[in-house]
Amino acid sequence: MKKENNLMEKIVSLCKRRGFVFPGSEIYGGIAGIYDYGPAGVELINNIKQAWREQIFRQHDNIFEVDSSILMQKKVWDASGHTSSGFTDPLQECKKCHRRYRADHLTEEGVIKCPNCGGELTEPKKFNLLVETHLGPVKDDSSLTYLRGETTQGIYVNYKNVKITMRADLPFGIGQIGKAFRNEITPGHFIYRMREFEQMEQQYFIKPKEAAQYFDSWKKERMQWYLHLGIKEENLRFRPHAKDELAHYARSAEDIEYRFPFGWHEIEGIHNRGDWDLSRHSKFSGEDLSETDKDTKKKFYPYIIETSAGADRLTLAFLADAYREEKDRVVLSLHPKLAPFKAAVFPLLRNKPELVEKAKEVYNMLKNPSTGSGQGFTVAFDDRGNIGKRYYSQDEIGTPFCVTIDFDTLEKDDVTVRDRDTMKQERVKIKDIFSILNKNIYGK
Ligand code: GAP
Distance from residue 198's CA to the centre of ligand 1 (Å)? 8
Closest ligand 1 atom to residue 152 Cα is 1
d(CA 311, CA 46): 9
Least confident of 77-86, 198-207, 357-366: 77-86
Which of 77, 150, 179, 192 for mutating ligand 1's site (highest number of atoms within 8 Å of CB)?
Answer: 150
Kindly give the distance from the C-alpha atom of residue 270 to the centroid of ligand 1, in angstroms, as a whole number. Answer: 11
193 CA closest ligand 1 atom index: 24
Instruction: Tell me the mean pLDDT in the region 296-313.
Output: 97
What local confidence, expressed as pLDDT, does residue 245 receive? Answer: 82
* Cα 160 to ligand 1 centroid, rounded to whole Å: 25
Ligand 1 center from residue 200 Cα (angstroms): 9
88 CA distance to ligand 1 middle (Å): 14
Share of the chain above pLDDT 70, in %: 98
Evaluate if residue 352 carries a pLDDT over 70.
yes
**Residue located nearest, by CA, to atom 14 of ligand 1:** 268
Q: Can you give the pLDDT at residue 30?
A: 96
Contacts of 93 (CB under 8 A, 6+ apart): 99, 100, 101, 121, 122, 125
Closest atom, ligand 1, to C-alpha of 253? 6
Please list, in sequence order, all residues whose beta carbon lies within 8 angstroms of the beta carbon of residue 315, skipping any fewer than 6 positions away: 21, 41, 44, 45, 48, 191
Ligand 1 centroid–CA 182 distance in Å is 9
Residue whose CA is at the smallest distance from ligand 1 atom 21: 193
**pLDDT at position 427:** 97
Comparing 84 with 49, the larger pLDDT belongs to 49
Q: How far is the CA of 129 from the centre of ligand 1 (A)?
A: 12
Q: Is 79 a residue whose pLDDT tops 60?
A: yes
Using the mean position of ligand 1's atoms as its centre, give its distance from the Cα of residue 309 in Å.
6
Mean pLDDT of the chain: 94
The type of residue at 40 is A
pLDDT digits (tens, 9 = 90+) for 53-74: 999 999 999 999 999 999 999 9
Give dist(CA 383, CA 381) in Å, integer: 7
What integer pLDDT is reported at residue 108 of this predicted model? 80
**Where does the pLDDT of residue 281 fall: very low under 50, low under 70, confident under 90, or very high at 90 and above?**
very high
CB-based pocket (< 6 A), ligand 1:
150, 152, 182, 184, 193-194, 197, 199, 201, 266-269, 306, 308-310, 312-313
Amino acid at 206: I
Nearest alpha carbon, ligand 1 atom 18: 310
Which of these ranges, 88-102, 109-123, 171-185, has the smallest mean pLDDT?
Answer: 88-102
| Residue 3 confidence (pLDDT) | 62
Helix H, strand E, coil C: the string for the chain is CHHHHHHHHHHHHHHHHCCCEEECCHHHCCCCCCEEECHHHHHHHHHHHHHHHHHHHHCCCCEEECCCCCECCHHHHHHHCCCCHHHEEEEEEECCCCCEEEHHHHHHCCCCCCCCCCCCECCCEEEECCEEEECCCCCCHHHEEEECCCCCHHHHCCHHHHHHHCCCCCCEEEEEEEEEECCCCCCECCCCECCEEEEEEEEEEECHHHHHHHHHHHHHHHHHHHHHCCCCHHHEEEEECCHHHCCCCCCEEEEEEEEECCEEEEEEEEEEEECHHHHHHHHHHCCCCCEECCCCCCEECCEEEEEEEEHHHHHHHHHHHHEEEECCEEEECCCCCCCCCCEEEEECCCCCHHHHHHHHHHHHHHHCCCCCCCCCCCEEECCCCCHHHHHHHHHHHCCCEEEEECHHHHHHCEEEEEECCCCCEEEEEHHHHHHHHHHHHHCC
Ligand 1 pocket test: pick from 245, 257, 308, 316 the residue with the most ligand atoms within 8 Å of its Cβ. Answer: 308
* Shortest-distance Cα residue to atom 7 of ligand 1: 150
Distance 201 CA to ligand 1 centre (A): 10
Predicted local distance difference test score (pLDDT) of residue 247: 86
Q: What is the pLDDT of residues 401-425, one digit of tens each?
A: 999 999 999 999 999 999 999 999 9
Ligand 1: residue whose CA is nearest its atom 12: 310
HSE-up (13 A, CA, CB side) for residue 284 = 17
Q: Given a cut of 80, is residue 371 above it in pLDDT?
A: no
